Structure 1
């Protein structure tokens, strides 16, 4: 059985809830201010750990009150924090989130996350069968160094290129599985995409990124479209009442990594991750909303015919 290693961001999410999002230059009255552990790296690590998979997080925290709270929370979720460093002179990363009608806007102030470097990702020892995960909330050179080490020992690499930014071909060439939403897909391919577009439209765009890797496009309630050897695989979504979508993509990535680490076929792993994300959006917060293995199993016990088959 493999392990999951996540090199990534750790944030404190400061969430302001309101009836609607303000327009540019407008002030609206909020309803509440909430504090949740988050950051794409931390979210993905918690998602994997809560599903019972040995999961190690690699990153940095500031030497401040948020850093102490985040470390305590992550340890309580079963995440191995051996390679999370406290950084003097830097604040812990903070995400300012406005939540209205289950949709969010997010501004991230990187802090210690922006200091993660090649030395940080060189510390853990990976092995064949492990899964190495990262996202774009830490410096790209650190991600490249992490994936080079993973590839050298035969570990699987998963990149979630969010928030969207341009990455060079050398980094993408180190990626086995690319997981992104339609906005990120449109940005990386220079294609105008909408969430209402057909699966064929998403497949066409994904082919520009699919050389030598699997591309998974998460489509919210519509499910996920995977391009495997240039052939599309559509895993249907699940209709649920969303409360907060903040950590849904991270839940999907962490759950996918967890299932691949234990040797599940891709189709089954995608269906499992899709089910996990459908639970996540029904709760407030990012990392605290990640489901347990028992909760995902309960949802999958009602799976539709044909769902979760390997391509």
Structure 2
């Protein structure tokens, strides 16, 4: 893997997703008849790597899979999208698994069993330190052990995109290394509680997104992107400390499946940043990629390549002229 500018290295999870479609989500204790089931590649790390590669970035992934048949499913679209798998290790544990239920309204519930992803700790990341250090953008999430996240942030010499989802306890320095920290509004409240030293139960759930972003910036986070689903995204710190917040609306589309849309956003954001665009321009691009993804079933199969037309007004695409 070259250390040339423009590279994205994702340190994260690789899963198989079992996607069950239902007319509506079951209530506790209720049994429903599903309308379909499918096994697809997934995992936040793999999703984000595929999204970045499909949007033109030279991309590698650092992670772990099992020595099982599920690993072939989990890595199929990584390989097909041109992601460098040199630092994807096979370990003696089952490949990570996610049970995804998708309702007719496109909303989803997800239960993740980490499996082999638990092997992507500090030692595994240390073995891949040269490729992490050589990346223009290093992308991290919360589906691997915290010491792996910490080791990757320490090894990075380029820009760190931290999508702390799920929110797991990490050292304060890791959060402050993020540029940007990418979270949804619920995760933003949990990260803020972590920085305040509060119990997660005291997180400011329901607080205004603008207040959450300003509070995170006040703690010293370099930049913050709060994803807002169909409403788009809110950006703080795009032009340095103290600048006004930027709201980036999402194109209006008919959502079929929202699972993996946040990962499509993060991968596209990383690809744009690696290409040298501003954070504001990268978020505009990422919002359109996320809107494209929710119109299709599944995670990785729903991500656009550079040959696909993104929804929304025609605008300059940081990774490829116009779309």
TM-score (structure 2 length as normaliser) = 0.86
Residue equivalent to 2:319: none
Task: Show the 5 A alignment for 1:198-237.
Answer: 201-210=208-217, 211-228=220-237, 229-230=241-242, 231-237=244-250
Is 1:159 matched up with 2:162? yes
CA deviation after TM superposition for structure 1 residue 186, in Å: 2.4
State how far apart, in whole Å, the 2-side matches of 1:175 and 1:303 are: 27
Residue equivalent to 1:74: 78
Residue equivalent to 2:314: 302
Unaligned runs of 5+ in 1: 195-200, 305-311
Residue equivalent to 1:308: none
Query: For residues 139 and 273 of structure 1, do their structure 2 counterparts lie closer, same or farther at Cα, with a shift above 3 Å needed?
Result: same
Q: Indicate the larger mover: 69-78 or 279-288.
A: 69-78
Kept after mapping to 2: 8 A contact 1:144/1:174: no
State how far apart, in whole Å, the 1-side matches of 2:235 and 2:303 are: 23
Q: Give SS of 2:216's match.
A: coil
TM-score (structure 1 length as normaliser) = 0.90
Is 1:240 matched up with 2:253? yes
Kept after mapping to 1: 8 A contact 2:14/2:43: yes
Of the three residues 143, 152, 163, the one matched with 2:149 is 143
* 1:117-172 Cα distance to aligned partner (Å, 9 max, x none): 2232231434566100010000111111111110xx3x000110111234331321
Kept after mapping to 2: 8 A contact 1:83/1:120: no
Q: Give SS of 2:110's match.
A: strand
CA deviation after TM superposition for structure 1 residue 192, in Å: 1.9
Greater share of residues in strand:
1
Any runs of at least 4 consecutive aligned residues in structure 1 with deviations exceeding 6 A, and if so which?
Answer: none
State how far apart, in whole Å, the 2-side matches of 1:279 and 1:174 are: 30
Is 1:65 matched up with 2:77? no
Query: For residues 127 and 140 of structure 1, do their structure 2 counterparts lie closer, same or farther at Cα, with a shift above 3 Å needed?
Result: closer
Residue equivalent to 2:23: 19
State how far apart, in whole Å, the 2-side matches of 1:217 and 1:95 are: 24
Aligned residues: 293
Residue equivalent to 1:170: 173
Structure 1 vs Structure 2 CA RMSD:
1.7
Is 1:263 matched up with 2:276? yes
